[in-house]
């Protein structure tokens, strides 16, 4: 993750960047001009998101990653510190990758919140599936 | 010596946690969310969050920066007051829920006393042994007790249920709320 240039409140520069994205971004609507469901909008690189939408996408993206990683780690199996550290790290990176893909501005959500949003529940999900699948498959 | 693992319990424990999460949300709705008082204060908080967000995003000239700063402080104070009111309202209902969930946890944990419900793919650090190895005999700390599996099931299931039902606080509210919004049955499970 690249360090943020500044950690202070968003100023005119961020507002201007957001306005520029608004004018150049793709309209997140279908052919009949109805707003797209959030899960479809999440794949659009230039779509605009508000804070709650970013939080929701981060939460569910991390949940999905946690589910997949937990099952995969349980099946392989991955054991020890590699799993304990690797799983949560990959979960965090998944969310960060999405936020970079759609270019979430600091005026929408600060980097530290992007880092934390949905991470703890996702770690719970990851542990649950990792432990359960590991037990059921290998014992 | 390989511990005798009750593999059906590996599935039962998350199922119990799911039942508890559903009952907990239903009781929360009954005691807290459906009351007109809560709905009103939630609307007030949503409005205050939007107002504060607009104040922070407003682009003003250098001469008006002081006035904007004062307005932001006033809006933050108003939001903090509303959050405190909402928090105390939730806490009254959550206290009752804590008692019920704590009682359920105590009853269910006693029926799983001494039973290895899962095998951990890692050896937990010593300070977690009280949770991961609670009620189990032997020195194999990869044996998982009911408590640990119950806690991680609760973390996973309860928050996702709240998200699906729309009862989780919004991102803007969550970032501005006091840290006391903890899951009550987690606190019971950790004791």
Whether A21 is covered by a domain: the verdict is no
Mean per-residue pLDDT for A94-113?
88
Whether A8 is covered by a domain: the verdict is no
User: B100 and chain A: CB distance < 8 Å anywhere?
Assistant: no
Specify the pLDDT at position B176. 56
Looking at residue B62, the DSSP 8-state letter turns out to be G
User: Hunting for tokens 């990758």 — which residue is that?
Assistant: A97
Specify the pLDDT at position B145. 93
Q: Which of residues 83-102 of A touch B (CB under 8 A)?
A: 83-84
Specify the pLDDT at position B3. 59
pLDDT average per 10 residues of sequence, chain B (191 residues): 73 91 87 85 84 77 80 85 84 80 87 91 94 90 93 91 81 54 36 35
Contact B56 A10 (CB under 8 A): yes
CB contact at 8 A, B48 and B75: yes
* SS3 state at B2: coil
pLDDT surpassing 90 at residue A90: yes
pLDDT surpassing 90 at residue A84: yes
Contact B119 A134 (CB under 8 A): yes
Give the pLDDT confidence of B74-92 residue by residue, as tens digits: 888 888 888 888 888 888 7
Number of domains in chain B: 1
Identify the sign of the CA torsion A90, A103, A6, B54: negative
Give the pLDDT confidence of A49-62 residue by residue, as tens digits: 888 889 999 999 99
Q: Which domain holds residue B100?
A: 2-190
Whether A63 is covered by a domain: the verdict is yes
Write the secondary structure of chain A as one string of H (helix), E (strand) and C (coil). Answer: CCCCCCCCCCCHHHHHHHHHHHHHCCCCECCCCCECCHHHHCCCCCCCCCHHHHHHHHHHHHHHHHHHHHHHHHHCCCCHHHHHHHHHHHHHHHHHHHHHHCCCCCCCCCHHHHHHCCHHHHHHHHHHHHHHHHHHHHC
Number of domains in chain A: 1
Of residues A10, A12, A131, nearest to B149 (C-beta): A131
Contact B171 A124 (CB under 8 A): no
Q: Is the pTM of this model over 0.80?
A: no
CB contact at 8 A, B155 and A121: yes
pLDDT surpassing 90 at residue A130: yes
User: A139 and chain B: CB distance < 8 Å anywhere?
Assistant: yes
For residue B123, list chain A residues with Cβ-Cβ distance below 8 A. 80
User: A114 and chain B: CB distance < 8 Å anywhere?
Assistant: no
User: A115 and chain B: CB distance < 8 Å anywhere?
Assistant: no
Residue A95, burial from CB neighbour count under 10 angstroms (0-12, 13-18, 19+): buried
The better pLDDT of the pair B2, A122 is held by A122
Specify the pLDDT at position B49. 80
The ipTM (two decimal places) reads 0.75
As a 3-state breakdown, chain B gives helix, strand, coil percent values, each rounded to 5, of: 75, 5, 25
CB contact at 8 A, A62 and A95: yes
A123: nearest CA partner in chain B = B156
Mean per-residue pLDDT for A97-114?
88
Contact A83 B119 (CB under 8 A): no
Looking at residue B32, the DSSP 8-state letter turns out to be I
Whether A20 is covered by a domain: the verdict is no
Q: Which domain holds residue A114?
A: 39-138
Backbone angles phi, psi at B5, to 5 degrees: -100, 130
């Amino acid at each position: 993750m690249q360090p943020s240039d500044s950690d202070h409140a968003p100023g005119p520069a961020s507002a201007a960047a957001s306005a520029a994205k608004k004018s150049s971004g793709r309209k997140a609507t279908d052919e009949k001009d109805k707003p797209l469901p959030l899960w479809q909008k999440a794949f659009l690189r230039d779509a605009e998101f508000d804070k709650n939408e970013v939080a929701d996408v981060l939460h569910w993206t991390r949940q999905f990653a946690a589910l997949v990683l937990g099952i995969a780690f349980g099946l392989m199996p991955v054991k020890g510190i590699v799993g304990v550290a690797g799983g949560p790290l990959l979960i965090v990176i998944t969310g960060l990758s999405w936020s970079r893909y759609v270019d979430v501005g600091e005026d929408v959500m600060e980097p530290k919140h992007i880092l934390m949003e949905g991470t703890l529940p996702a770690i719970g999900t990851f542990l649950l599936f990792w432990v359960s699948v590991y037990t059921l498959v290998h014992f | 010596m390989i511990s005798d693992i009750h593999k059906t319990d590996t599935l039962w424990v998350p199922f119990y946690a799911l039942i508890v999460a559903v009952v907990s949300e239903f009781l929360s709705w009954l005691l807290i969310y459906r009351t007109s008082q809560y709905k009103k204060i939630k609307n007030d908080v949503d409005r205050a969050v939007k107002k504060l967000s607009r104040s922070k995003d407003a682009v003003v000239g250098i001469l008006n920066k002081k006035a904007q700063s004062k307005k932001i402080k006033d809006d933050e104070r108003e939001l903090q007051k509303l959050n405190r009111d909402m928090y105390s309202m939730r806490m009254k209902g959550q206290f009752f829920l804590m008692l019920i969930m704590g009682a359920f946890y105590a009853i269910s944990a006693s029926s799983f006393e001494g039973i290895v419900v899962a095998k951990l793919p890692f050896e937990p650090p010593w300070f977690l042994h009280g949770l991961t190895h609670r009620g189990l005999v032997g020195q194999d700390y990869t044996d998982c007790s009911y408590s640990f599996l119950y806690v991680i099931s609760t973390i996973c299931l309860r928050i996702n249920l709240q998200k699906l039902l729309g009862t989780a606080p919004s991102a803007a509210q969550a970032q501005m709320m006091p840290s006391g919004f903890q899951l009550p049955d987690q606190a019971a499970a950790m004791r």
